[in-house]
């Protein structure tokens, strides 16, 4: 246990008083012996505190090492999970790329189909135009035929009259 700066200052301020109280009525040699004994006890207590602190630090180091190993294990596990997730994303990317290729192929097919439909529409327009022309020609021929039949009928009537 360490002393705070305030405690050290308090001890320095009052140490003289305490020592003077203890030494009143005692010879100087006894006083020096008592001081030396006290100093030895304080040094021993300090040494004991240092040893306790050293042991505490050792225990803390061991705990920190254990925590570090545990954290390392956990981080490695998290890294493995992230790698697994990355692999899943890569697999999904490959699937999406395959789907994209399929869509591109479908787009090309649709473009080909649209071109075919346009060609068929153009052919239909041509056929419609040809049909209209045939209809006009047939209609003209039909009217000519009706005219010829009418003319023949008229001529037959005229001949029958003659």
pLDDT in tens, the chain (162 residues): 677 788 778 887 887 777 766 655 556 677 778 888 989 999 999 999 999 999 999 999 999 999 999 999 999 999 999 999 999 999 999 999 999 999 999 999 999 999 999 999 999 999 999 999 989 988 888 888 888 888 888 888 888 887
Tell me the C-alpha distance between 44 and 89, whole Å.
66
pLDDT of residue 26: 58
Distance, in Å, from the CA atom of 22 to the CA atom of 5, rounded to the nearest integer, reads: 25
Residue-range definition of the domain harbouring residue 33: 5-161
pLDDT of residue 72: 96
CB under 8 Å to 3, separation ≥6 — which residues? 11
| Domains in the chain, number | 1
The Cα–Cα gap between 61 and 53 comes to 12
Beta carbons within 8 Å of 1's beta carbon, 6+ residues apart: 49
Q: Is the dihedral of CA 66, 69, 75, 81 positive or negative?
A: negative
pLDDT at position 55 is 95
Look at residue 23 in the predicted model and tell me its pLDDT: 56
This prediction has a pTM of 0.41
């Amino acid at each position: 246990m360490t002393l705070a700066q305030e405690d050290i200052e308090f001890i320095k301020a009052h140490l003289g008083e305490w020592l003077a109280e203890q030494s009143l009525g005692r010879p100087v040699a006894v006083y020096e012996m008592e001081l030396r004994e006290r100093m030895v006890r304080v040094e021993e207590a300090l040494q004991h505190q240092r040893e306790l602190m050293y042991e505490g630090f050792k225990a803390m180091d061991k705990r920190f090492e254990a925590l570090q190993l545990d954290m390392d294990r956990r981080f490695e596990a998290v890294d493995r999970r992230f790698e697994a997730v990355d692999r899943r994303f890569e697999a999904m990317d490959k699937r999406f790329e395959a789907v994209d290729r399929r869509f591109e192929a479908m787009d090309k097919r649709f473009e080909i189909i649209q071109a075919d439909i346009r060609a068929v529409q153009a052919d239909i327009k041509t056929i419609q135009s040809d049909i209209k022309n045939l209809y006009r020609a047939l209609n003209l021929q039909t009217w000519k035929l009706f005219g010829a039949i009418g003319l023949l009928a008229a001529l037959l009537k005229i001949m029958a009259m003659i």
